Amino acid sequence: MEHTGNIAEKNIRKALFILISITTLIRIFVAATLELSVDEVYYWTYALYPDWSHFDHPPMVGWVIQLFSLNLLFDNELALRMDAIVISILNTLTIYSIGKYIKNPLTGLYAALLFNASVYCSVLAGNFIIPDTPQLLFWLLSLKFFLKALPAGWPGRQEDRQLLLASLFAGLAIISKYHGVFIWAGAGLYILIYNRAWFKKPSLYAGVVISALFTLPIIIWNIRNDWISFNFHSGRVTPAFEIRPDYFFTEIFGQVAYNNPVNYVLIVMAMVAIWKGKKFIRPEYRKILLLDFLPIWAVFTSFAIFRSTLPHWTGPAFTPLIVVAAAWLADKPVAGVKNILFPKPVRIAIILLYSLMLLAWGLINYYPGTIGKKSPVSQYGDMDFTLDMYGWKQLKGKFEKVLQRDVASGKISEDAPIINPRYFPGAEIDYYIGRPLHKKVILPGNIKDIHKYAWINEYRGGLKKGESAYMITTSNWYHDPYEFYSNNFEKIHPMDTIEIRRSGVTAYYAFIYIMESYKGNFSSPFHVESPK
């Protein structure tokens, strides 16, 4: 059944080393040459203001940023993304070890290759700092030890230890992102359906307790904050009971795109082979892998029938299927040994991903102007995804000159804060302008718009009555100051329009306003309220 040709394991390990080396160098290059996205700078605030949990997510992403940046001692783009780069290496080694364990080293290599060809695994959670980054590592580690523990007919001490390790990593996945609870859903289904002997083992209940302990910081924080995080997320996924085929097909298309279309086809082909009774993987491992996939995929895909979802919510579901596809691919008869380390489908998947990465990198850094809207001026660059990570350093340099001029002329005080009504692009303004210029950034607004900044505003002292402030807003994310703040300041003065150029062509505009004399009458701008 196993078919590895004449390839020695040392050659497979050499190929794995080459894969890790090349992908790591690519990630370092990308991390050092792209500005941070709005999500990344927002999670930077988790490290800047650590807490037991946060409005959007549990605290792990902030902790790993603190760890790898030495508590923000180094806080440039490369330093902040270093956690993703290191975790990507660990993820590749882990999925290799899973494939090797369930079948053979060639399966491990194919799993590592397909993993690094996945947009979700290799780019979103592999190059950028988001909660999925640590979650994916702990998800894979938990899966690895569940695969070792759960199939035992009568679990012994070794299986007990492996189950406890799986539980530990499941807990770490939960404190990385709430989706981590689905690891136990898959494991629980396997135990319930295929191996009820575990119900007689104290280690199972100890494992559940170990994972549950990791929820305590989240629960304590939510108790102190009126369960605001759970209320927020329940509002995002509560079905609207209006069938929306457009949402559903967008979700399915997103899953295909995020996992790489080639990977997706290989997974479907492996699933068809299983349905036809092909025995390329031991039944107990197949069942665990499929049940690790099923709960999280079924829940969020079913949500998409009724309301808008994000494709990366199901991202972890496809990692066990990558292993299944790798096992199927490793079982295919191969004529000779030429290119067996890198079979054609795998080569196509990797070439497709990294070609798209190169294209996206080039568009972000060098596309002349914008691929988005060009009128009206207030929306110039709107709908251009490439501008999410471009122009903020340029804006900082140009705004600094405006600031120096206005302070010198007495139009505004040197310590005047900067405001914006939303965390995007408020967090970008905070990181790229407020941080280097030592300016306090405050986001007066509804908690649904400002998220963690409801707490950050209080940490920074909020706005004082009579205080004037700058408002910076950009045309690709335009927020009208009169719409948001006309009743909260004595006067609003349009001051400057700053042109942000890319390859010599206008990409978007930044609009600078002086908000004169805060009235102190904003409706609870700095106090946490439950989302309506």
Q: How far apart are CA 130 and CA 217, in angstroms?
A: 19
Question: Residues with Cβ < 8 Å from 155, sequence gap 6 or more?
Answer: 149, 163, 197, 198, 201, 203
Q: How far apart are CA 90 and CA 135, in angstroms?
A: 12
Query: Are residues 83 and 96 in contact, defined by beta-carbon separation less than 8 angstroms?
Result: no
Collapsed DSSP state (helix, strand, coil) of residue 526: coil
Helices and strands in the chain: count of H runs, count of E runs: 23, 5
Q: How far apart are CA 351 and CA 340, in angstroms?
A: 17
Cα angle: 413, vertex 418, 420; to 5 degrees: 150
Query: Are residues 210 and 173 in contact, defined by beta-carbon separation less than 8 angstroms?
Result: no
Among candidate residues 125, 126, 131, 169, the one with its CA nearest the CA of residue 147 = 169
Q: How far apart are CA 68 and CA 87, in angstroms?
A: 11
Q: Please give the structure tokens belonging to residue 453.
A: 């900044």
Query: Are residues 511 and 474 in contact, defined by beta-carbon separation less than 8 angstroms?
Result: yes
Q: Domain coordinates of the chain in residue numbers? A: 9-144+242-361, 377-518
pLDDT (tens digit per residue) in 207-226: 999 999 999 999 999 999 98
More confidently predicted of 119 and 337: 119
Q: Please give the structure tokens belonging to residue 352.
A: 């497709």
Residue 338 has pLDDT above 80, yes or no: no
Range with lowest mean pLDDT among 103-117, 235-249, 310-324, 358-372: 235-249
Residue 122 has pLDDT above 70, yes or no: yes
Query: Are residues 472 and 399 in contact, defined by beta-carbon separation less than 8 angstroms?
Result: yes
pLDDT (tens digit per residue) in 7-40: 778 899 999 999 999 999 999 999 999 999 999 9
Question: Residues with Cβ < 8 Å from 465, sequence gap 6 or more?
Answer: 518, 519, 520
pLDDT at 332: 73
Q: How far apart are CA 27 and CA 93, in angstroms?
A: 16
Residue 119 has pLDDT above 80, yes or no: yes
Which residues are registered as beta bridge partners of 510? 474, 498
pLDDT at 520: 83
Among candidate residues 26, 44, 25, the one with its CA nearest the CA of residue 129 = 44
Q: How far apart are CA 169 and CA 157, in angstroms?
A: 19
Mean pLDDT across the chain, nearest whole number? 91
pLDDT at 1: 41
pLDDT (tens digit per residue) in 417-474: 999 999 989 999 999 999 999 999 999 988 889 999 999 999 999 999 999 999 999 9
Residue 336 has pLDDT above 60, yes or no: no
Question: Binning pLDDT at 50, 70 and 90, where does residue 235 land?
Answer: low
More confidently predicted of 351 and 236: 351
Question: Binning pLDDT at 50, 70 and 90, where does residue 525 land?
Answer: very low
pLDDT at 263: 96
Q: How far apart are CA 281 and CA 290, in angstroms?
A: 12
Indicate the pTM of the whole model.
Answer: 0.92
Residue 238 has pLDDT above 70, yes or no: no
Q: How far apart are CA 55 and CA 224, in angstroms?
A: 12
Query: What percent of the chain shows pLDDT beyond 70?
Result: 94
